[in-house]
Amino acid sequence: MQANSKPLALVVLAAGAGTRMMSDLPKPLHPLGCAPLLAHALASAAPLEPSRIIVVTGHGADQVEAALEDIVPEAVAVRQAEQLGTGHAVLQAADALEGFEGDAVVLYADTPFIRPETLDSMRAARASHDIVMLGFEAADPTGYGRLVMDGDRLMRIVEHKDASDDIRKISLCNSGLLCADAGVLMDTLRKVGNDNANGEYYLTDVPEIASADGKSATVVVCDEMETLGINSRTELAQAEANFQALRRAEMLENGVTMQAPDTVFFALDTYVGRDADIEPNVYFGADVTVESGARIRAFSHLEGCHVSAGAIVGPYARLRPGTEVGNNAKIGNFVEVKTAEIGEGAMVNHLSYVGDASVGARANIGAGTVTCNYDGVMKHRTEIGEDAFIGSDSMLVAPVKIGAKAMTASGSVVTEDVPDGALALGRAKQVNKPGLAVKLMDRLRAIKAKRG
C-alpha cells in the first residue's frame, strides 16, 4: 500500500492525562470496539508496514507500556516526564530515531479513525514537500487551528484564539497529524520555542519554522470524521457509535447478512465471512472469527472464539475464550462453552455448560449437561468421543473420558471413564414410598397453619 519506498517510522503520542475522561485509566487505554484507543491508532498505520514504532508515554506510563506489549510487542516506548506540549512530546522520540533515514508519521492515541489510505496520501505528498500536515474542512471551525495556505503551500498554522477575523473565516483546520523526513522533523522541533501563554512547545509551529529554513510544507485533506479526537466520556460514546456504524457498513458490503444491523456490536478485530447470518442483538467481544455460512442467532455473546463454516450458535448462547466450534456444529439456546472444542456436526442444543472439554464429531449433548471442570483450585478436562450420546442432566465430573459411541443415562453423575460403546448409569436407586407424599404435605400444611 505504501506510496513511496522510504522506510517509515511511527511516532504515536500517548502521554496525555486525559483529565476530562474523569478516570483512573489512562486515556489511551479506554476501550473502543473492545480494543484500547491506542490499538486503533496503531492499526490505522499497520498497512503501511512501519519499520519503527515509537510510542510516547507519560501519564499512566506503566499501564500504557504494559498494554503496548500486548498490542505491538516490537514497539519502543519513550517517556515524556513532563507534559510540555506536542512538539516536546515528539522530540522525546529523537534518540529512538537516531540514524533512521526515512519518513516519520506523527499520530495520536486518542484519534482512532484515521484511515490507512489517508496516511498513504500523506506519504505520497512527501514527494514534493518536506512537511505534510493533515487538514480537514470543518463544519464548525470554532476552536480549531487554521491552516493558512498559499496555493498548495502551507505557510503557517494559526490557533483560533490568535486568529484575526479574516483568518477565522478559513474553514481548513489542523488535525495535528504530520508526515516529514525524520531528520528534518527533529531538527525543526529543536528550534521550536515555548513563548506562549502555556509555556509549551507546539508541533503546530513546525511548518512556519520549516518555511523560514527554506523547506516547503503542504496539506492533505481528509473527511472531518477521521480526525475526531476523544477527550471525554461523551466523545468516547459518540466514537463507539461511529465505530459500530462503520463496521456494520463494512460487514454488509462484504456479504454478511444482518436483519437488524443497529443491534449488532463488533470489536476492532472481529472477522465474519461472507454469507454468514448475524441475527439481532448479537455482541462480538475481542478475538472472534466467524467463517462463511455460519449463523449466529439472536441475543448471543461471543468472545475469543472461532466458529467454523455452517455452524449455528444460539439463540441466547455464550461462547467464551478458547472455544472452537467445528463445521456444521450446533450450539443452542442458553448454552455456555469455554475453552472447548466442539467437533464437526456435534450438537449442544440447550441449557448446558461445556468447559475445558473436547466434544467429538457428531456427538450429542443433552439438555442440562454440565462438565464439572473446577475442583475449587484447579481446572480439569472432559473428553467426549465421536458419536457419543450424553443424556440430559448428566454431570460429567472431570477429569473424565466418554468413549466413542458411548452413552450416559439421563440424570447420571459420571465420575469414571466410559469405554467406547458403553452405557454409563450413575444414578441412585429409586425407592417409592406409597402414600408418603400425601402425609408429608398434610404435615407441612399443619405446621404452616400453626405458625400463622
The per-residue pLDDT for 25 is 96
Q: pLDDT at residue 160 above 90?
A: no
The per-residue pLDDT for 2 is 47
Q: pLDDT tens-digit profile of 146-155? A: 999 999 999 9
Q: How far is CA 318 from the centre of its chain?
A: 18
**Is 350 noted as a catalytic residue in this protein?**
yes
Q: How far apart are CA 245 and CA 242, in angstroms?
A: 5
Name which residue leads in pLDDT, 197 or 159: 159
CATH 3.30.70.270 holds for 233-423: no
Across-strand partners of 284? 302
The per-residue pLDDT for 388 is 98
Q: What is the mean pLDDT of residues 52-81?
A: 96
Sign (positive or negative) of CA dihedral 28, 34, 40, 46: positive
The total number of residues written for the chain in this structure: 452
Q: How far apart are CA 88 and CA 110, in angstroms?
A: 18
Residues of the chain with CATH 2.160.10.10: 233-423
What is the value of pTM for the model shown? 0.90
**162-to-85, 133, 166, 257, 447 alpha-carbon distances in Å:** 17, 20, 12, 51, 85
- Reference 185, options 207, 200, 201; nearest CA is 207
Q: pLDDT tens-digit profile of 402-412? A: 999 999 999 99
Residues of the chain with CATH 3.90.550.10: 8-227
Q: Which of 30, 88, 301, 350 is catalytic?
A: 350
Pairing of strands 131-137, 172-181: antiparallel
**249-to-117, 228, 244, 246 alpha-carbon distances in Å:** 18, 19, 8, 5
8-227, superfamily in CATH? Spore Coat Polysaccharide Biosynthesis Protein SpsA; Chain A (3.90.550.10)
Across-strand partners of 105? 10, 179
172 contacts: CB under 8 Å, gap ≥ 6: 135, 136, 137, 138, 146, 147, 149, 219, 221
